[in-house]
Amino acid sequence: MFWRRKRGDEKGKQKKKKPPDLISGSVVWTYMLKQYGLTPDILFELRRVETDCVVGDKAATMIRIFDPATASGKGIAIGDYQSLDDQPELILYEGYYREVGGQATDIHIEKK
């Protein structure tokens, strides 16, 4: 039963891979609009892949933003964050963010 599980029982579990997703509905959406002046039309075309990480001793989320049409045109399937490790030319933006209660507490995303 999950409520009886000790915290130590979760160690060693593999992280669940997160597939590409829309940028909308995330703290990143507003950041990209304000910081880079991207329009909603452009943001709806792009996708994000994420993975959990630690930045400065605090939990964060690493993010990569790419154009799925470009990847598809090159015959490359992007399944998760690590899929872009060997395809750095497809990464348009990359960085990390922290979110608490749906609000960004720290966000740093750079254009590549």
* 69 vs 17: which has the higher pLDDT: 69
Percent of the chain topping pLDDT 70: 84
Long-range Cβ pairs for the range 79-87 (8 Å, 24+): 79/17, 79/19, 79/20, 80/17, 80/18, 80/19, 80/20, 80/49, 80/51, 81/17, 81/18, 81/49, 81/50, 81/51, 82/17, 82/51, 83/49, 84/49
pTM for the structure as a whole: 0.80
pLDDT-derived band at 110, boundaries 50, 70, 90: very high
The pLDDT tens digits for 22-75 are: 887 778 998 999 999 999 999 999 999 999 999 888 899 999 999 999 999 999
How far from the centroid of its chain's Cα atoms is residue 68's Cα?
A: 14
